[in-house]
A and B are shown apart, each in its own frame.
Chain A
Amino acid sequence: MQWARPIGNRSGRGVIISPELGHVALIIALCLALLQSSIPLLGSYLGVQRWMRLAHSLAIGHLVFVGIAFGCLVTAFMLDDFSLRYVVDNSNRSLPTHFKFSAVWSAHEGSLLLWALVLAAWGAGVAIFSRSLPLVFSARALSVLAMIAVGFGLFMLLTSNPFERTLPFPPENGSDLNPLLQDIGLIIHPPMLYMGYVGLSVPFAFAIAALLGGQFDSAWARWCRPWINVAWVFLTLGITLGSWWAYYELGWGGWWFWDPVENASFMPWLVATALMHSVAATEKRGVFRSWTLLLAIFAFSLSLLGTFLVRSGVLTSVHAFASDPERGLFILIFLSLVIGASLLLFALRGPAMNSKSAYTGAAREVMILTNNFILVAAMAMILIGTLYPLVADALQLGKISVGPPYFNFFFVPLSLVLMACLGIAASSRWRHTAVDVVAIRALIPMVLSLLLGALLPIPLGIWFSAAEYSIIAALTLAAVFWVVIMSLQDVRLKAQSVPLTRLPAGYWGMLCAHCGLALCALGVGLSSAYDSQRDMRMELGDVVEVAGYTFEFSGLNETQESNYRATRGLIAVSQGGRPIATLTPEKRHYQSGGQVMTEAAIDAGLTRDLFVALGEPLSGNSWAIRVQVKPFVRCIWLGGLMMGIGGLIAVADKRYRRRKKIPSMKRNRLVEPALEVFK
């Protein structure tokens, strides 16, 4: 990469070509996106095939140029090019190489570039994998994706250009990456989350294309499903990673704070989950068509809202690193344009796509409707709790914040109801499921799960030295066993009629994701019920007992790493005299910027985490120390991972990979009788 090398001496006023190349590449990418957003769309109305076909090559060209721009920024970070303002603000010569790489998306400008890159990648993905779709449809969908790319391209170039220079006097060294972000979790968390966020633009584009063309049938739903699933998988994994990162890096042992930024990623997830279910009903039975379209629009709108909340600096939050009213205004206008235009289109075209199809009793359609109702209700209450402080501030009603009890008050009962319904849904069939049949089938699992839920908290309480019987644990356990037992019973029933190997991948994926949800709920419920935490003053040699574990503050030493100096505590943990682990929590002092950071030490286990963090030095050899025993906390993230894997298994289903050429704009019924048996 000869062009990327700085010309002249590196430490001085070097003129470096690479950032200019990146800047130009961004402008070219914007131009390509402008073409892609107009020509194929025009072509689709005028019936010019060549114009429509242009969309595919433009989408790939767009990816190439955004890729070049991203590569240039990465190069600038790798070569410590401090003539770039963004590199100065977020990097440092002594930063380890892998963190220089992740620093690319650690702040506003770079994360937008990552956003744009991910969007371009999804666009190119659609261009490559949409060969079997009608040309008119794929051309329109690609045009819609390009419109979003134009919005973000303009945003980047006009308000947040990552290639802004510090010339003519570049500093000798950068001010370093925020130490909180110097972590493996942050290398993968944002790209994952963005893949999910931006991935929701694909069902959105498909929905708009369907509204424009008036074609919205089972075939449409089938094209959409794998895309929705993949975006959902990324979003699930991204949120899970974020929660895990917060747990060990930020949170002093907390894993979810109902922080506005967390909510911003959780709301699209809830709607995407609802969408994933309703589109299944649309595909299989042709029902809920308008509703599915609306969900697709809302899911992406909430992603944009999330971007607005995080990137405009309107929030008091960890993530609100920059605040710039101009940027906020731009995203707000873009947001209202996208939501306004798509809802207007929906209002004009949506109701015409209504469907009439009968379903009765506890049919799967009814269960999916219930699922959607609960998920959307949960999203709505999170939305209110997140936006209310902003609205109140704008209306001069005072500066307020909404506390976690508000969110828990709604979310906990809603999730329990959701899981109760999930159990029944597992054994429901499309079109008609008699309520009494379900009742008979559900009887034994219900009794069993209620019994287990009522009894298990007793040994658990003794194990984790809880003072009293935990009702939260009982409810959680009952719900978890209910979901798992009902799912397994359904597998058993299916096994009576067909060999298990013949069941489609989609079915196994669903089963895996549902059990993942149960596992996640188990972690949430039990870690909240049996968590023990103590903050105390400890001197060298002090011993403390928490939930049956003995923690001894046995030593203290100093270490020096490449870009920080750390004080390391040694805490020996034992249980009944048997040593379990030696934990080494650290207090780090970063040299550039002088930031102090706590690095907790965790002894991880499936049934419990032992968590120790150094607070602050008090006097002599005594420190403020936090000690926590967190039962089953790891199940939260394992459950999230399992949900993600379930989603991937479902994508692997054979029927999505059938490359049958579908005649353009012809409605067709793509119902396979063989599969109908299982669904």
Chain B
Amino acid sequence: MHAIRKQRLQWVIFTLVASSTAIGLVVYTLGQNINYFYTPSQIARGEAPLGVPVRAGGMVVRGSLVRDSESLDVAFDVSDGVAQLRVEYSGILPDLFGEGQAAIVAGVVDADAILQATEVLAKHDENYMPPEVADAMGEAYRQSIGSGGDY
């Protein structure tokens, strides 16, 4: 083979190997590090995998917030208007966290369908609702209307 052609072939092979390795790595790492968002209804129906990091969100149910008197442990319910999800967390809650406000939690759903949160996020200004929460509430609302006809 021509020396130049050989060199070109080497480049092509190198590029192919390098890019497929890169793509493989990206796909694998993405797979390891993406968190799916579930609505409280979905978790109540058991659609969320257990023991895997997930995110969930909804409105914090009024009167559901309980603080431990000794530590920073806290528990509260979030709701999408249909189902409620119990969340347990240990740490400082964000400034704009409050009952009756939207919140997003990240963590692991345990065997009792309680979400053990590692992170709690609240909206960043008073007029803003996270799109996930808005969608989740809309979805739950539509489903409750839909199922209302069946029963």
Contacts and interface: CB of A to CB of B under 8 A. Distances in A.
B92 A616 contact: yes
Given A401-B55, A597-B95, A537 B72 contact: yes
A14 to B, nearest CB: 26
Contact of A598 (B26, B29, B95): B95
A190 B41 CA distance: 40
B71 A537 contact: yes
A403 interface: yes
Given A321-B128, A400-B37, A401-B35, A624 B72 contact: yes
A173 B69 CA distance: 41
Interface residues of A, number: 41
B125 A624 contact: no
Interface stretch (B2-10, B76-84, B129-137, B143-151): B129-137
A48 interface: no
Nearest to A615: B92
Contacts of A78: none
Contacts of A398: 36-37
B30 A388 contact: yes
A interface SS class: mixed
B132 A399 contact: yes
A535 B29 contact: no
A500 to B, nearest CB: 41
Contact of A535 (B25, B34, B92, B124): B92
A403 B125 contact: no
Contact of B30 (A180, A406, A618): A406
Interface in B9-58: 22, 25-26, 29-30, 32-37, 53, 55
A624 B91 CA distance: 8
A169 interface: no
B30 A402 contact: yes
B124 A318 contact: yes
A313 B33 CA distance: 23
Contacts of B29: 405-406, 409-410
Interface in A580-623: 593-598, 613, 615-616, 618-619
Interface string A190-202: 0000000000000
B70 A537 contact: yes
B66 interface: no
A618 B36 CA distance: 32
Contact of A399 (B91, B128, B135): B135
B126 interface: yes
Interface string A532-569: 00011100000000000000000000000000000000
A183 B36 CA distance: 34
Interface string A312-346: 01001010110100000000000000000000000
A516 interface: no
B22 A377 contact: yes
Interface residues of B, number: 32
B142 interface: no
Contacts of A316: 104, 130-132
A528 interface: no
A405 B36 CA distance: 15
B62 interface: no
B32 A406 contact: yes
Nearest to A107: B125
Contact of A381 (B26, B55, B126): B26
B36 A399 contact: yes
B95 A401 contact: no
A384 B30 contact: yes
Contacts of A595: 95-96, 125-126
B interface SS class: mixed
A132 interface: no
A626 interface: yes
Nearest to B25: A410
A178 interface: yes
Nearest to A398: B36
Contacts of B30: 384-385, 388, 402, 406
Interface string B109-139: 0000000000000001110101110010000
A406 B35 CA distance: 11
A20 B96 CA distance: 37
A431 B70 CA distance: 69
A619 B93 contact: no
A401 B124 contact: no
Given A178-B125, A596-B95, A596-B96, A323 B131 contact: yes
A616 B91 contact: no
Nearest to B92: A615
Contacts of A409: 29, 33
B99 to A, nearest CB: 13
Nearest to B132: A399
A320 B127 CA distance: 12
B125 A594 contact: no
B37 A401 contact: yes
Interface string A346-384: 000000000000000000000000000000010001001
A220 to B, nearest CB: 28
Contacts of B125: 178, 180, 321, 595
Contacts of B91: 535, 624
Contact of A618 (B25, B32, B67, B124): B67
A565 B130 CA distance: 28
A97 to B, nearest CB: 22
A388 B33 CA distance: 12
Contacts of B37: 398-401
Contacts of B104: 316
Contact of A626 (B92, B95, B96): B92
Contacts of B34: 388-389, 400-403, 406
A676 B70 CA distance: 71
Nearest to B121: A316
Given A402-B30, A537-B72, 20 more contacts: A178-B124, A178-B125, A316-B104, A316-B131, A321-B128, A377-B22, A385-B30, A398-B37, A399-B37, A400-B34, A400-B36, A405-B32, A406-B33, A409-B29, A409-B33, A537-B70, A595-B95, A595-B125, A624-B92, A624-B93
Leading 10 A-B pairs by shortest Cβ distance: A615-B92, A399-B37, A406-B33, A403-B33, A400-B34, A596-B95, A624-B92, A318-B124, A405-B33, A178-B125
30 contacts: A178-B125, A180-B124, A180-B125, A252-B92, A313-B131, A316-B104, A316-B131, A320-B128, A377-B22, A381-B22, A381-B26, A384-B26, A384-B30, A385-B30, A398-B37, A399-B37, A400-B35, A402-B34, A403-B33, A406-B32, A410-B26, A410-B29, A598-B95, A613-B92, A615-B72, A615-B92, A616-B92, A616-B93, A619-B67, A624-B93
Interface of A: 178, 180, 252, 313, 316, 318, 320-321, 323, 377, 381, 384-385, 388-389, 398-403, 405-406, 409-410, 535-537, 593-598, 613, 615-616, 618-619, 624, 626
